[in-house]
Structure 1
Amino acid sequence: MPQDALNPIDAQGLPALEARLREDLEYLCLPGKEWAPRREGVSDVVIIGGGMCGMVAWLGLYTAGLRNIRVLDRSESGFEGPWLNYARMETLRSPKTLTGPAFGHGALTFQAWYRAQFGAAQWEQLDKIPRPMWMEYLRWYRRVLEIPVENRVSVDQVEPEGDLLRLHLSGGAEASILTRKLVFATGRDGTGMPNIPGFVGDLPKALWAHSSEEIDFAALKGKRVAVVGVGASAVDNAAEALEHGAGEVRHLIRRKEMPRINKMMGIGSPGFTAGFAELPDEWRWRFMQYSFATQTPPPRGSTMRVSRHPNAYFHFGKGVARTERSGEAVRIEFTDGTAYEADFLILGTGFATDPMARREFGAAADDILLWQDVYTPPEGEQNRDLGQFPYLNPDFTFREKRPGEAPWLGNVYCFNYGATASLGKVSGDIPGVSEGAAWLARAIAATLYAEDVEQHWQGFLDYETPELLGDEWEESVLEGQPVKGEVA
């Protein structure tokens, strides 16, 4: 590539990129001044989750002039989110050019971060983003924006206290804190849990693991490994087992054939992002149910990572009926009447959305309105999993199932995968997360302003800073003529 084709920031290092970012923000007069009245000992917003979604939510709120914000994450610093924990893919599925959490700032994109260090030529050669490198980028994102994430702090329960929310914590110096608004930026399992099929209910835990758990892959060397499912997490874990020397890995797939088309990728557009939440329930359900029914296929690279091993096998039409311990092995019986024995079973079964599974809500989880409470799909479109998604307000807040019993849920925002059925893919996946954060920030800012309207009104009345000082003019006397017919 000719030298004059390079961006001036290319390969000049992160200091030059960071200077450019600071300049861009200055030109845009960002962040704006703080405007929300503070309450002693009360946060305006607490964000649970310091990963990608939590950080871009913070940026949206900070940009909107809110400063009294706390971000809490239970992980060690630099290990927020799945990227260096249970995520085991080699590269991200998303195209490298997506702007992700950049929030409209070119200097905050992964592309800018990469090119600043490695130059345009290497950027052109890069295919997909390596997973560990994405976490490096997110660490830089946190540092350059000075996002005040408080690590190793867990929110254990949320309960109302007057017009506020009290968050009970563990891991930090405080037992509890108060906030006006709470944002769950808690990722894929943010309103649910790992999906554990009932067929492992009686199986000793030493013989199986879910793909979201820590797995000792080295211990699987020479072993027979069965993997239930063929989604992205299933194939990534199968590949890890194979690369650690597993004797054989067999994918047990309920479907009759491999899913091959990512339907949601085919309809992604600004129109879909902006318009999905405005659609009637029947259309929102139809889109999501069809996506669930057709299933998102695993990435091609991840699948090839498995199939290049001669001891990897894909078995279709093998729905698991039950499992039992057989000596030191697992006997797996299928719905077609056949059976197979493995030394270890990995569940690549994803996550279930179910607010009742979240300990943060306690008994109040049953007060959350779900899609199954609101919408009855037509014949052929039923989907139990989709029915358990929360039925959210347009501003990401939860709705109460029985009016008047839990109005405080209107102060809790679902900025995670659980929002998908109601608002679309704007609060979990990389493509639409900045649009979702802007939407969220605007909603929270509007609500806080309305709640404090009397103070803002008083501030309006009390404002006394003159623009004119009185020395800009001299008063003149106009000697006018009497109006015709006027008595002198």
Structure 2
Amino acid sequence: MNDDRQLPPAGLAALEARVRQDLAWLDLPAKDWVPETALEGEPVLPVAIIGGGMSGLAACAALRFMGVPAEIFDQSPAGFEGPWATTARMETLRSPKQLTGPALGKPALTFRAWFESQFGLEAWEALDKIPRLQWMDYLRWYRQVLALPVHNGHKVLAVRPRGADGVVQLDLQTPDGARKVLARHVVLATGRDGLGGAYVPEMARSLPRDRWAHSSDSTDYAQLAGKRIGVVGAGASAMDSAATALESGAASVDLLIRRSDIPRVNKGKGAGSPGLTHGHLHLPDDWKWKIRHYINVQQVPPPRGSTLRVSRHANARFNLGCAIERMEWTGDEIRVHTSKGVFHLDFVVFSTGFRIDWNARSEFAPFAAHVRNWGDRFRHPEGEDDQELSDSPDLGPAFELQPKIPGACPGLERIHAFSYPAALTHGTVSGDIPAISVGAERLAQGISSRLYAEDVQWHFEKLQAFSDPEVFGDEWTPAEPPDQTAALLDKADAP
């Protein structure tokens, strides 16, 4: 008997043929059923998606599988959407390799299928974690094999809900100049920082701007060679930033860690189950807050591999219980005053996470003041203060924004926040690998149902006008009428 392990990899061409065959067997994508519309002489897209990273690709694929035309607009060059090949610095993903990610229930669309088709089963079994840049290569293939329409180099300048005519207007800057796009629904698949930006503590303002960076900035770490670096934080991005600085030749790296210990247990991983993935949306508000707040307080530990990547350098120092009191610039160095003493540094990297702040993004100015966040309507339990959760958008079942004052911003509900800040309302189904397919399908189902309801009169008229016969009248021969005389005699003879 032949051992399948010895068979050579089939190659990407064979996998792509399998994808096409699987979709044909499932009759996907569904036939377009949304009526074509135009306004002001411009075509109106059923759905426009801002952001071509993993979330945007998954959302676009899920919508198109359901027969809803959707197009993606991303400011990055083709193949560099999202953080993976730009600002991310980890060597590998932290997610287990077997998670199916954006495959939408299609085995041939998984990373594993993509990997095995090129490198074989033995290589898959030997693989520990997915290399970061290899994950980006997989996403590029995912876009290509599904022929997803992505408009690169399109920077969104403004998102304008227009309630009167039922569209959202996107003002874009493109390689060919200014462009206006009209869509019935807009999806904000803008990533972890896409509803605000990087959080930097106020003390950074006391330093020259060229002496500090946030871990999400596009920093050239080669410029840190020979310098004394401080990294504020102890999460994954802190370890990745520290390791990158060390590998780039930094003289030293001091991790400034407020906690007395680094978190050890990933509580979010322990909570993961299909029950939570599908059930979080339907939990009472107090339970949603309780679960997300607990995970936030416990914090997610840095990956073991990322931490070892730092500690293998003799010039890396883990300063625990090191609360920062203030920073000052002396003219030639940064002095960081902490509970453990004063650190003398040349450059500081703030690995301090992100904030949700609609007003921080100029493109959201037309509606930012109207968005209802959780803090606008939910009183959290005493002792469970959590700024991230308070600032999280209070979303509807299709990830749609909701207004603080009903009717104050017509059309706001046509904008859908499909990014990490949706986690308090929906759970972690819109920004992380494990359940991204669940989130994308939930989003697509919700938008599809709204599109149908909005056009129900048109669909009913189309139903009435439908005239393709399945029976033609030649399938039977009409019987002759019964003999009336014989019928009367039979009746007379009856007892």
TM (norm. structure 1) is 0.96
One of 55, 60, 70 as aligned partner of 2:57: 55
The CA deviation at 1:368 is 0.5
Where 2:37 maps in the other structure, the secondary structure is coil
State the match for 1:65 in structure 2: 67
Does the aligned pair in 2 maintain the 1:355–1:390 contact within 8 Å? no
Distance change >3 Å, CA 199–CA 79, structure 1 → 2 = same
For these two proteins, the number of residue pairs brought into alignment is: 481
Deviations, residues 155-208 of structure 1 (Å, cap 9, x unaligned): 111113321111111124442111100000111112120111111113111110
CA distance in 2, matches of 1:160, 1:271: 35
Deviations, residues 59-89 of structure 1 (Å, cap 9, x unaligned): 100000112x221000000000000111000
CA distance in 1, matches of 2:140, 2:5: 26
Deviations, residues 237-277 of structure 1 (Å, cap 9, x unaligned): 00001111111101101112111110010010111100001
Structure 2 gaps, min length 5: none
One of 466, 472, 477 as aligned partner of 2:475: 472
The CA deviation at 1:236 is 0.0
Runs of 4+ in 1 over 4 A off after TM superposition: 482-485
State the match for 1:5 in structure 2: 4
The CA deviation at 1:329 is 1.2
CA distance in 2, matches of 1:34, 1:403: 33
The CA deviation at 1:339 is 2.1
The answer to whether the aligner puts 1:207 opposite 2:205 as a matched pair is no
State the match for 1:78 in structure 2: 79
The CA deviation at 1:115 is 0.4
CA distance in 2, matches of 1:209, 1:484: 103
Deviations, residues 86-141 of structure 1 (Å, cap 9, x unaligned): 10000000011010001111111000000000111111101000001001111111
Deviations, residues 351-407 of structure 1 (Å, cap 9, x unaligned): 112222222220521210011111111122111222111111121001101111013
The answer to whether the aligner puts 1:457 opposite 2:457 as a matched pair is no
**AA paired with 1:56?**
A
Identity %: 47
Deviations, residues 40-59 of structure 1 (Å, cap 9, x unaligned): 21111000011111111011
Does the aligned pair in 2 maintain the 1:397–1:413 contact within 8 Å? yes
The CA deviation at 1:278 is 0.4
CA distance in 2, matches of 1:172, 1:426: 33
State the match for 2:122 in structure 1: 121
State the match for 1:432 in structure 2: 435
**AA paired with 1:36?**
V
CA distance in 2, matches of 1:49, 1:309: 37
Range with greater deviation from structure 2 (237-246 or 310-319) = 310-319
Does the aligned pair in 1 maintain the 2:225–2:248 contact within 8 Å? yes
RMSD across aligned C-alpha pairs, in angstroms? Answer: 1.6
CA distance in 2, matches of 1:273, 1:401: 27
Where 1:380 maps in the other structure, the secondary structure is coil
Where 1:420 maps in the other structure, the secondary structure is helix
The CA deviation at 1:337 is 7.4
**AA paired with 2:463?**
F
The CA deviation at 1:33 is 0.8
Where 1:441 maps in the other structure, the secondary structure is helix
CA distance in 2, matches of 1:230, 1:484: 99
Structure 1 gaps, min length 5: none
One of 252, 258, 266 as aligned partner of 2:256: 252
Distance change >3 Å, CA 56–CA 396, structure 1 → 2 = same
The answer to whether the aligner puts 1:409 opposite 2:412 as a matched pair is yes
CA distance in 1, matches of 2:358, 2:396: 16
What is the correspondence of 1:139-150 to structure 2 with a 5 Å cutoff? 139-150=140-151
CA distance in 2, matches of 1:201, 1:132: 34
**AA paired with 1:102?**
A
Does the aligned pair in 2 maintain the 1:199–1:320 contact within 8 Å? no
The CA deviation at 1:441 is 0.5
Range with greater deviation from structure 2 (247-256 or 337-346) = 337-346
CA distance in 1, matches of 2:189, 2:491: 76
Distance change >3 Å, CA 172–CA 181, structure 1 → 2 = farther
One of 367, 371, 382 as aligned partner of 2:374: 371
**AA paired with 1:366?**
A
